[in-house]
Structure 1
C-alpha cells in the first residue's frame, strides 16, 4: 500500500505538502476506513482552486514516470509559478509485506526528469542525476538485479557520447523493469503491479456529449447480460429504481433503454445525476479488475447528498482493500457515520493538508457533529 506521499513545487503547491497514510488516531468506529494501520478511505475538502485536482494528478504522476502513462494535458508546465526552483519533487513510500520502498524523483517538466532515486529498507539501490550526468548503481544486487546491463542503459542515455541527444532521459526504474528478468516475488514486480492499477477520474455527466463511438462501445459491452444486470443493480443501489434493457437497432448498433410498459431511451431521458453514475460505472466498475488506488475527484458534483453517501459506501464494499481518496465540497458527507476524523482532511488555499482530528484542540469523538463544527468555523484557520 501507499504509506506516504510528499510533493513540492508542483503547480499551486509551492511548499512541501505530504499525505501520511499511517498517521491514524486509533478511532474505534468507521474501522473500514483503515487497513492494518494505513488509511484506505479518505475524503478531502477544499474550496475552489485549492488544488484538489492538482493533488490527484501529482499522485498519479508515478505512472508517467514508470510506464509513460501521462496525465498531463498540453504537456509540460508543472512548476509553481512563484517558485525559483527548477523542478517539481515527488516522493512515494510504499509498504509491501515487511519491506519499505521509497521512490523519489524530480521533474523539470511533464516530460523531463531531473533525477530519480530508489531506496529499499534504507538501502539506496540506485541514484541518477540526469542534470549532472552522475549515476550510482552499486546496490542492484540487493534486489537481485545485478545482471542489469548498465553499459547498455548508459549508452541509451548517450553518456560520454559525442553528439547531444535531445530526447528526454529514460527513467532507470522504467528501463530496469522492462529489461531485467526479475523474480516473481520481486518488490519491483509488486510496485509495478500496484502502480499499473492506480486510477484517477472526475465524475461527470458527459456520456451524452461523448462521441457516439464511445457510447457504442459501452453499449456493446452491456450485451453481456451479467454486465447489464450489474449496471442495473448499481443504479438501484444508488437509489435509482429502474430496469434496463439493451436492444439491437436496424443499423446493427446497440441501444440502452429503461424498461417500462414501453421502452424509454436511456440517453434521452436520464437525469444528469444518473448520467454521472453511469459514467462512473463505465470508468471504474465496468470491467473485472482489482484496483490498488483510486482518486475520485469531486465525485459527487451531480449527486444529492444521500446518493453521495451511497457511492462512498458502495466503493468501500466493492473495493475494501483499495486505497480510495475522494474530494468533495459537500459538507453533508462530513460525518462519523461514513468516515472518521483522521480520514477527513481539509486542503487549504496555502497548500496544507490537515486531518480534522488535528485541526482543533477538541478531542473529536463519535458523537460530534463534524459538519456543524465545520460550518460554525471550528476548522476555519486550516482552510
Structure 2
C-alpha cells in the first residue's frame, strides 16, 4: 500500500506538498476510514493537479501517457513510500517534461538498490544483489539503442520487465500495485469505453451485483442485458418496455456506473476528483460506506466541495484535509488549536471559518 507521497515543482505546487497515510491521530472511532482521505479545496487550488501528480508513477512504470504538462521551470520531483508486508519501498525521481527523466532512485528497507543520474550519465547498480538481481545485464540497459536522446527508459521499469522475479518479490508487488492505481475525473470519465464492462455483465452474477449496487445507492431499477444481431450486447432498464441504459441514464447514474466499473477492476488506489459533484449528499455517504464495507484494502482519495461529508459520523479529523491556494495540505486535526473530538460538528466549524487560516 502507499504510505506517503511527496511532490514539488509540479504545476501549481512549487513547494513540497505531501499526503501521508501513515500519519493518524489517536481516535478510537471510524477506524474503517483509515484507508480513505477526503480533500477539500476552493476552486483552482490544484485538486486535479494533485491527483495527476499522484498517478505520475503509473505513466512512468506502465508506459502510459502522463496527464498534463510538468513545469518547464526546473524538474518536478516525485517521491513515493510504499509498504508491502514487512518491506518498505521508497521510489523517487524527477522529470523535466512528460517524457524526459532526470534521475531515478530505489530503496528497499532503507538500502539503496540503484541510483541513476541520467543528465550526468552516472549510474550505481551495486545494490541489485539485495534483490537477487546482481546478474542482470545492466550494460544492455545502458546500450545506446536503449538510451536515446529523445526518451529515457526508467530503469525500474526495465528491471521489472527483464528480470525473472518471483511472484512474491517486492518489485512485482510494487508493479501490480501501480498498475491498479487509477484516477476518475467526474465529467471527463462519464462516457468511458464500456464494452468490456458489458461483456463482464454477461455473467448473471455480475449483472445482479451491479443492479444491487445501483439499488443500494437509491436508484431503483431492474437491468437486462441483451445480445444484438451484430453479436454485441447492450444494457437496458427493464420497465414497461426495454429502455437503453447509456442513452437515458442521468449523469449521476453514469458517474456511479463509471465508478463501479473502476471498483470491480480491483484497484489498489482510486483518486476520485470532484467526488459527489453528481451525487446527493446521502448517496455520497452511502458510497463511502460501500467502500468501507466492500473494499477495505483499496485506498481511496476523494476531492469534494460537499461539506455534508465533513463529519465524524462517517469520517474522522485525521482523514479530512484542506488543500490551500498556497499548495499546503492540512488535516483538520492539525488545522485548529482545539483537540477535535467525536462530538464536534466539523461542518459547522468549517463554515464559520475555524480552519480558514489553512485554506
Deviation at 1:280, TM superposition (A): 1.8
By how many angstroms is 1:64 displaced?
A: 1.5
Q: CA deviation at 1:2?
A: 1.0
Q: Deviations over 1:260-292 (max 9, x none)?
A: 33333333432221122122223333x4x3x21
Indicate the residue corresponding to 2:335 in structure 1: 359
Equivalent-residue separation in structure 2 for 1:179 and 1:268 (angstroms): 45
Distance 1:329 1:138, change over 3 A: same
2:319 aligned residue? 343
Q: Does the C-alpha gap of structure 1 residues 248 and 94 become closer, same or farther in structure 2, counting only changes over 3 Å?
A: closer
Shift >6 Å, 4+ stretches:
none
Q: 2:83 aligns with which of 87, 92, 95?
A: 95
Q: Counterparts in 2 of 1:64-79, with a 5 A limit?
A: 64-72=59-67, 77-79=69-71
Equivalent position of 1:283 in the other structure: 262
Displacement of 1:249: 4.4
Change in 2 beyond 3 A, CA 1:67/1:261: closer
Q: Distance in 2 between matches of 1:183 and 1:377?
A: 53
Q: CA deviation at 1:156?
A: 4.1
Q: 1:18 to 1:223 in 2, by over 3 A?
A: same
CA distance in 2 between partners of 1:272 and 1:247 (Å): 23
Please point out which of 373, 377, 380 is paired with 2:349. 373
CA apart distance, 1:87: 0.3
2:244 equivalent among 258, 265, 270:
265
Asked if residue 229 in structure 1 is aligned to residue 221 in structure 2, the reply is: no
Q: How does 1:1-383 map to 2 (within 5 A)?
A: 1-34=1-34, 40-72=35-67, 77-79=69-71, 84=73, 86-156=74-144, 165-204=148-187, 207=190, 214-215=193-194, 217-249=196-228, 252-285=231-264, 287=265, 289=266, 291-383=267-359
Change (3 A) 1:5 1:42: same
Q: Residues 181 and 269 of structure 1: is their aligned pair in 2 closer, same or farther, counting only changes over 3 Å?
A: closer
TM-score by length of 1: 0.88
The 1:317–1:340 alpha-carbon spacing in structure 2 relative to 1, beyond 3 Å, is same
1:204–1:279: 8 Å Cα contact kept in structure 2? no
Q: 1:157 & 1:108 partners in 2: Cα distance?
A: 21
Listed as ranges, the gaps of 5+ residues in structure 2 are none
C-alpha spacing 1:319/1:71, structure 2 compared with 1 (3 Å): farther
Q: CA deviation at 1:215?
A: 4.8
Are residues 8 and 306 of structure 1, via their aligned partners in 2, closer, same or farther at CA, if it must alter by over 3 Å? same
What is the deviation of 1:181? 1.8
The answer on whether the counterparts of 2:99 and 2:151 sit within 8 Å (CA) in structure 1 is: yes
Any idea what SS the aligned residue of 1:342 has? coil
Q: Deviations over 1:302-325 (max 9, x none)?
A: 111101111111122121011111
CA contact (8 A) 1:204 1:302 kept: no
Contact 2:140 2:146 in 1 (8 A): no
TM-score by length of 2: 0.94
Task: Tell me the CA shift for residue 139 of structure 1.
Answer: 1.5
Over aligned residues, Cα RMSD in angstroms? 2.0
Residues 250 and 155 of structure 1: CA distance in aligned 2, closer, same or farther (over 3 Å): closer
1:37 matched to which residue of 2?
A: none
CA separation of 1:98 and 1:45: change in aligned 2, threshold 3 A: same
